C-alpha cells in the first residue's frame, strides 16, 4: 500500500477532517482559498470600501492583513487598505509587538496608524487595571481592555475614513464568544456576533468583518509558520486566567476528543443567527441610541467605555452595568 506521506515530494504538514494529508504548498492553497471564499460567501468586502485592518502584531491580525492585501491586490484595490494598531499600554509586551508591526507593515507597504489608550483615555491599561484592583471591583482586565479597544478602533477607523474594519478573529475566538455569552446570559450580544458584526446600522459605527471566521487557530498558526512570518507567539500577560482562556482550553480538550465540534458550534450559530437577529430587532427596535457623554453609538444612555472611565476616575463606584457586553469581541 502506498504511503501518502511518501507519495508526495514534500512531507505532509496538515491533516484535514476527512483524513486527507496536505503538504505545505497544498496547505497554503487550502487556507488562502478558505479565507477568500469566506470573504465572498458572507459579502465581507465591498469594492467601494475603505478598509482599516485592526492589527495587534499577533498571528491572526498579521495573517488577515497579509491576505486582505493579497485579495485586494488582485482587484488593484490594495491602496484602499490601512492598518490600525491600538497601544493599550501593557508594559514589556505591547512595545515589542508594535515594533514588529512597524517592520511588517513597511515590508507590505501598508500605512500603519497607532492609537493609544494613554492619549485617548488619559491612562494606560496597566494603570487602569491597578486602580480597579485597588478599588476591589470585579471588572476583569479583559473587560476593560475589550471595551476600550472597541471604542478606540471604531473612532480611530472613522477618523481614517474607513467604511469597514477587518479583524483577525478566527473560528476559535468566535466559538469562545458564542459560549461565553451564552454562559453569561448575554442574549443581546449573541445576535451581534458572526462574520460581520452588528444587527442594526448606524453611520457612526464602522462595521467589522472577520475573513478568518472559518479558520481554526491551529490553521492560522500553521500558516504563519509556513509563511515565515516572524510573529511573537507570546500572549497578553492579562489573558492567562480570563474566562475566555478557560473556555479556550476546554474547547481544545473537547476538540481533541471529538474532532469537528468547534466547526459544528459555528455552524449551529450561523443557522440560528437570523432568528436571533429578528428577535433582537423585535425587542430592541432598529433605533440606535448614542451615549449622552461621548456621543458614540451605545445600547444604553451611557456607553460601557464612559461608564468604565467614570469608575476608574472615581466618579462612580459600582460597575454593575459593566457586564460582558465586551464579549462581543
Ligand atoms: Fe489582554 Fe485580555 S487584556 S487578553
Ligand atoms: Zn460614552
Residue to mutate (ligand 1; options 87, 129, 238; most atoms within 8 A of CB): 238
pLDDT along the chain (329 residues), means of 10: 59 92 97 98 95 94 97 94 96 88 96 96 94 89 92 96 97 96 91 88 92 97 94 78 88 95 97 94 86 90 94 67 41
CA distance 59 to 111: 19
Looking at the CA of 292, which ligand is closest? 2
- Burial (Cβ within 10 Å: 0-12, 13-18, ≥19) of residue 120: middle
What ligand 1 atom has the least distance to the C-alpha of 242? 2
Cα(63)–Cα(130) distance, integer angstroms: 33
Query: Hey, what's the cell of 223?
Result: 500558516
The helix (run of H) or strand (run of E) holding residue 15 is: strand 12-15
Q: How far is the CA of 220 from the centre of ligand 1 (A)?
A: 20
What's the CATH fold of domain 4-284? Rossmann fold (3.40.50)
Burial of 239 (0-12, 13-18, 19+ CB in 10 A): middle
Cα(46) to ligand 2 centroid in Å equals 29
Ligand nearest to the CA of 243: 1
What pLDDT is recorded for position 304? 92
Domain segments of the chain as ranges: 4-284
Q: What global pTM score does this model have?
A: 0.91
Ligand 1 binding pocket includes 142 (Cβ within 6 Å): yes
CA atoms of 249 and 140, how far apart (whole Å): 19
Query: How far is the C-alpha of 39 from the C-alpha of 51, rounded, in Å?
Result: 13
Q: Counting atoms of ligand 1 from 1, which one is nearest the CA of 239?
A: 4
Ligand 1 atom with minimal separation from the 142 CA? 2
Amino acid at each position: 500500500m502506498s504511503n501518502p506521506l511518501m507519495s508526495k515530494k514534500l512531507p505532509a504538514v496538515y491533516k484535514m477532517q476527512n483524513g486527507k494529508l496536505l503538504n505545505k504548498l497544498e496547505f497554503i492553497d487550502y487556507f488562502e482559498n478558505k479565507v477568500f471564499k469566506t470573504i465572498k460567501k458572507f459579502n465581507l468586502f465591498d469594492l467601494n470600501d475603505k478598509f482599516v485592518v485592526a492589527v495587534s502584531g499577533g498571528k491572526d491580525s498579521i495573517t488577515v492583513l497579509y491576505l486582505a492585501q493579497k485579495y485586494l491586490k488582485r482587484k488593484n484595490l490594495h491602496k484602499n487598505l490601512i492598518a490600525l494598531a491600538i497601544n493599550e499600554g501593557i508594559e514589556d509586551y505591547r512595545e515589542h509587538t508594535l515594533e514588529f508591526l512597524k517592520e511588517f507593515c513597511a515590508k507590505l507597504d501598508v500605512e500603519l496608524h497607532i492609537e493609544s489608550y494613554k492619549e485617548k483615555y488619559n491612562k494606560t491599561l496597566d494603570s487602569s487595571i491597578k486602580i480597579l484592583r485597588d478599588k476591589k471591583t470585579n471588572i476583569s482586565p479583559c473587560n476593560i481592555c475589550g471595551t476600550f479597544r472597541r471604542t478606540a478602533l471604531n473612532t480611530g477607523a472613522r477618523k481614517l475614513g474607513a467604511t469597514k474594519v477587518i479583524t483577525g478573529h478566527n473560528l476559535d475566538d468566535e466559538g469562545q464568544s458564542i459560549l461565553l455569552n451564552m454562559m453569561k446570559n448575554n442574549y443581546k450580544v449573541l445576535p451581534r456576533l458572526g462574520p460581520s458584526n452588528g444587527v442594526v446600522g448606524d453611520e457612526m459605527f464602522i462595521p467589522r468583518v472577520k475573513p478568518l471566521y472559518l479558520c481554526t487557530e491551529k490553521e492560522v498558526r500553521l500558516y504563519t509558520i509556513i509563511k515565515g512570518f516572524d510573529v511573537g507567539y507570546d500572549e497578553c500577560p492579562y489573558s492567562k486566567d480570563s474566562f475566555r482562556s478557560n473556555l479556550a482550553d476546554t474547547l481544545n480538550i473537547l476538540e481533541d476528543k471529538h474532532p469537528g465540534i468547534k466547526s459544528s458550534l459555528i455552524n449551529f450559530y450561523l443557522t440560528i443567527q437570523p432568528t436571533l437577529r429578528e428577535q433582537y430587532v423585535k425587542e430592541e427596535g432598529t433605533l440606535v441610541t448614542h451615549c449622552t457623554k461621548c456621543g458614540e453609538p451605545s445600547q444604553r444612555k451611557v456607553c460601557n467605555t464612559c461608564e468604565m472611565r467614570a469608575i476608574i476616575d472615581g466618579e462612580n463606584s459600582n460597575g454593575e452595568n459593566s457586564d460582558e457586553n465586551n464579549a462581543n469581541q
